[in-house]
Amino acid sequence: MSRKLLKIAYLGENYCGWQVQPNGVSVQQTLQNALEEFFGIRPNVCGCSRTDSGVHAKEFYCHFDIDSSIPLNGIVMGLNTLLPYDVSVLSCEDVADDFHARYSAKGKTYKYEIYFSQVADPFLEGRALRLKTEPDFNKALEFCSLLVGKHDFASFSSVKRTVEDTVRTVFQCTVEKQENRWSFTVTADGFLYNMVRIMVGSMLYFAQGKINEQDVLRAFETEQRNLLGNTVAPYGLYLEKVHY
């Protein structure tokens, strides 16, 4: 028996998120179906994160235990013949028995894509959030600087969160502009439920002048969710990288 680590990528629009759920098809279920067909048994698969419904992943890791002599490249190629077009296995490697895709991770990087246009771009719809008018980019940069460091991010999470410890350290946070598009990128040692989507919604509020620096600082101190912006749609969010 050996532990395998898969690196996969997927578009989340057709899935109810990573984790198996009774109300829809998940990425985990889809991958387990392919593993069962390939190996003849259904291994338990542990993922590095619980991405929400509609969220995408450019780099997602998961592990499973299997007794198999099939070469690693053969596993990659075989699974990809069984998976749908919107889920791909990028690599497979052997890891130590105590390696855990989620708990061994030291941090993650998420990216959120926004574009500004009066009309929908068919190549971006479902992949980026569309707003009709572009707010103040310099204010967006200012907001990002407020998030860097160790803070209590309780106000930046949904009431559905299942963890008690809401303190996280943001190592890097920025927004980049290219023509009519913004890319918000944040790296932290961990994220709470809906944390990135609330960060982005709050950044847009800040850039639109709807909230200010004092609101953000008070949100850290008081855990009041109503001091911040909306939770933006999931389809602009990408798990960009997992740091081990």
Q: What is the pLDDT of residues 4-44, one digit of tens each?
A: 999 999 999 999 999 998 889 999 999 999 999 999 999 99
The percent of residues in the chain predicted with pLDDT above 70, rounded, is 100
SS (H, E, C) the chain: CEEEEEEEEECCCCCCCCCCECCECCHHHHHHHHHHHHHCCCCCCEECCCCCCCCEEEEEEEEEEECCCCCHHHHHHHHHHHCCCCEEEEEEEEECCCCCCCCCCCEEEEEEEEEECCCCCCCCECCEEEECCCCCHHHHHHHHHHHCEEEECHHHCCCCCCCCCCEEEEEEEEEEEECCEEEEEEEECCCCCCHHHHHHHHHHHHHCCCCCHHHHHHHHHHCCHHHCCCCCCHHHEEEEEEEC
Q: pTM of the entire structure? A: 0.94
Question: What mean pLDDT comes out for the span 52-67?
Answer: 96
Domain 2-95 shares a fold with domain 107-243: yes
Catalytic residue among 52, 65, 67, 152: 52
Active site residue 52: yes
Residue ranges of the domains in the chain?
A: 2-95, 107-243
Topology of domain 107-243, per CATH? Alpha-Beta Plaits (3.30.70)
Question: What mean pLDDT comes out for the span 112-120?
Answer: 98
pLDDT in tens, 178-209: 999 999 999 999 999 999 999 999 999 999 99
CATH 1.10.3720.10 is held by the domain 2-95: no
